[in-house]
């Protein structure tokens, strides 16, 4: 996931380590240290996914290579969205996915959350059938159900938008005059 975020940020434009760290924090990485960022940059550079640009001043900027762009696309289009942070990270770079891939990913995430909601509802029913719950346990179970329902409603809006986007997409064969 860290690789996805770094490659995605460099997909937009070249950046130096300090700026990458700031953007990673904005994307939801709670703790990003230079001690974790720079080894990741060296590893990505060693694999050929990024390259250092000419150094201006004390800061070294990095940019995405063609191989890095392919790796970014591969990671971005992966379907493993069970983890909340991983899905949110991928969503931050959905602009680089084809509309059909966006829609597929959103539907998969929704299905995952529907399963999570059913599990949370069963937990609430099971726990309450055993007797009265303490206030904090009941609040936690209710919170889990409420946030999952809210996330499903949010995804329903994104899915509706993605369907509209996909329906209005110009077929690739018409782009450039080829049919």
| Domain coordinates in residue numbering, the chain | 2-79, 98-171
Which tokens belong to 50?
């990024």
Q: How confident is the model at residue 163 (pLDDT cuts 50, 70, 90)?
A: very high
Angstrom distance (rounded) from CA 162 to CA 8: 20
Find the mean pLDDT for residues 25-46: 86
Q: Mind listing the pLDDT tens digit for each residue in 87-96?
A: 888 899 999 9
pLDDT recorded at residue 79 = 63
Helix (H) / strand (E) element for 32: namely none
- CATH class (in words) of the domain with range 2-79: mainly alpha
Catalogue the long-range contacts made by 140-146 (C-beta closer than 8 Å, 24 or more residues apart): 144/120, 145/117, 145/120, 145/121
More confident residue, 109 or 167: 109
Q: Is the pTM of this model over 0.85?
A: no
Burial class (CB in 10 A: 0-12, 13-18, 19+), 7: buried
Which tokens belong to 147?
């946030």
Percent of the chain residues past pLDDT 90, beyond the cut = 47
Please, are residues 41 and 87 in contact by the beta-carbon 8 Å criterion? no
Find the mean pLDDT for residues 35-44: 91
Which tokens belong to 109?
């995430």
Q: Mind listing the pLDDT tens digit for each residue in 53-92?
A: 877 677 789 999 999 999 999 988 876 666 787 888 889 9
CA count, 13 A, side-chain hemisphere, 136: 0
């Amino acid at each position: 996931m860290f690789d996805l975020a770094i490659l995605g940020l460099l997909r937009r434009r070249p950046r130096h380590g300090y700026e990458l760290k700031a953007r990673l924090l904005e994307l939801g990485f709670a703790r990003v240290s230079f001690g974790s960022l720079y080894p990741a940059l060296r590893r990505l550079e060693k694999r050929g996914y990024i390259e250092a640009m000419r150094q201006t001043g004390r800061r070294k900027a990095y940019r995405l290579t063609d191989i890095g762009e392919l790796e970014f696309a591969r990671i971005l289009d992966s379907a493993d969205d069970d983890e909340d942070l991983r899905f949110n990270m991928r969503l931050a770079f959905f602009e680089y996915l084809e509309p059909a891939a966006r829609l597929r990913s959103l539907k998969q995430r929704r299905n995952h959350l529907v399963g999570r909601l059913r599990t949370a509802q069963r937990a609430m029913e099971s726990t309450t059938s055993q007797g009265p719950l303490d206030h904090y346990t009941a609040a936690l179970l209710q919170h889990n159900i409420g946030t999952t329902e809210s996330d499903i409603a949010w995804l329903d809006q994104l899915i509706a938008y993605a369907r509209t986007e996909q329906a209005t997409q110009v077929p690739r064969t018409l782009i450039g005059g080829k049919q």
